[in-house]
Amino acid sequence: MENFRKRFFVFSFIGLIIATTLLVLYMLLPFWKPVTLALISAVVFYPLQSFFEKLFRSTLVATFFSLITVFAVVIVPSAVALVIFGQELTKLIQYLNQYYQSGKLQLLVEDLRGWLYIYLYKFQEHYPFLGEILKEENLKGLLTKTYTNVSLFFTHFTKSAVFWVGSAILGIFVYLITLFFALYQGRKALNHAKNLIPLEEKDKEEILSTLYNAVTAVIYGTAGTAVVQALVAFAVYLYYEIPYPFLWATLTALSAFIPPFGSGYIWFPIAIYELFFVDLIKGLVGLGVGIFVISSIDNFVRPLVMKEKIELPYIVLFFSVMGGIFTFGFTGIFLGPTIFALFITLIKLYEEKFVKTNKNGG
């Protein structure tokens, strides 16, 4: 009877903990993105926090200086970038509307049809569907549909900008509050969390090390590379007078996170357009810069800016980033590889602790 009471108490207590944990997570659900980004930022800016703590010999003062640095280095530039991005996006929408209403779409259809006819004509015998594509009405319908969808997307994006700005202000406030406490009391919270993990100290350290390496690898490596690629691309767009250079540079930075082509999703179509419809020399130079400079940055900058490395097979990295983006949005760029890295680490621990132990024991 006594054993039954003890078991009942244990299971009831565990059930109560699980229930309250789920309720807490449910209440935090509206703020999970800024909270997650704040926790990731706390990991990234931990070396800075440690530096200020040694300098001022006060955790509270160090935390305030860390927040000021984050505000100056991350939030203010991001806000300015968003304003410029919004202005150029608005101008692009206006230009597309004028372009469509002026009848220039018909001229584009004729030019595009002529170019496609030259390069695809010889393949029509083997691929009859190419002939259907080259028909003027089909090509015009395809371009019109594409324009309509893009225009509707950008129009909806612009109309929801006011609501988005309000949400962003609230998100920034939650982000800063969470970041403050993560930096100020992060060590205590981490020690409490470690005590709750029913594993050996060595295994706990391996798990935490994996999480730290995953976050820093993505931030220092991928994000650093994306920023450098965007800066180079912006200089190229500006020099060759590509319309809306900041807009395209921002999209170049965002696309750098998406495998397998990264920033090539943006600079390659721009270079091809310049090559066939604007200026042959500009297009060739753009392709050369894209292939030999912008794309090569990934091979040179990534090793320099990554403070800690985490080895993930390319196919795992691809699915972790893409799956993270589709599941969690932009935050998934960081969460995806982190979750996969943790999963692989847990599998390795399971193999060492149970599979190999059972084989040796058998």
Q: Residue 329's domain spans which residues?
A: 197-354
Predicted pLDDT of residue 187: 83
| Per-residue CA distances from 62 to 54, 176, 203 (Å) | 9, 15, 31
Lowest-confidence range among 16-30, 37-51, 218-232? Answer: 218-232
Q: Judge if 164 and 211 occupy the same domain.
A: no
Q: Could you read off the pLDDT of 206-215 as tens digits, one per residue?
A: 778 777 777 7
pLDDT at 32: 84
Does 80 lie in the same domain as 213?
Answer: no
Q: Looking at the structure, tell me whether residues 153 and 203 fall in a common domain.
A: no
Please check whether residues 203 and 296 belong to one and the same domain. yes
pLDDT at residue 361 above 70?
Answer: no
* Sign, CA torsion 26/27/32/36: negative
For residue 55, how many C-alpha atoms fall within 13 Å in the half-sphere facing its CB?
13
Residue 104 pLDDT: 61
pLDDT at 335 over 70: yes
% of the chain residues with pLDDT over 70: 73
Select the more confidently predicted residue: 155 or 14. 14
Residues 106, 233, single domain; the answer is: no
Are 40 and 95 in a shared domain?
yes
Q: Which of 146, 180, 196 is the last residue of a domain?
A: 196
Number of domains in the chain: 2
Separation between Cα atoms, residue 243 and residue 146, nearest integer Å: 20
Mean pLDDT of the chain, nearest integer: 76
Q: Name the token pair of 230.
A: 């965007």
Global confidence as pTM: 0.68
Q: Dig out the tokens for 81 from the structure.
A: 């970038």
Same domain, 84 and 174: yes
Average pLDDT over residues 346-355: 75
DSSP letters, 289-349, are: HIIIIIHHHHHHHHHHH-SS-----HHHHHHHHHHHHHHHGGGHHHHHHHHHHHHHHHHHH
Residues 37, 69 share a domain: yes
Let me know whether 122 and 266 are in one domain.
no
Pick the range with the lowest mean pLDDT from 127-141, 162-176, 206-220: 127-141
Q: Is residue 311 part of a domain?
A: yes
Range in 82-91, 101-110, 125-134, 197-206 the model is least confident about: 125-134
User: By CB neighbour count within 10 A (0-12 exposed, 13-18 middle, 19+ buried), where does 84 fall?
Assistant: middle
- Mean of the pLDDT values across residues 212-225? 77
Same domain flag for 191 and 327: no
Instruction: Calculate mean pLDDT across residues 81-91.
Output: 79
Q: Give the model's pLDDT for residue 52.
A: 92
Mean pLDDT over 257-283 rounds to: 79
Q: Is residue 63 very low, low, confident or very high in pLDDT (cuts 50, 70, 90)?
A: very high
- More confident of the two residues 61 and 141: 61
What average pLDDT does the segment 33-47 reach? 86
Q: What is the mean pLDDT of residues 334-360?
A: 75
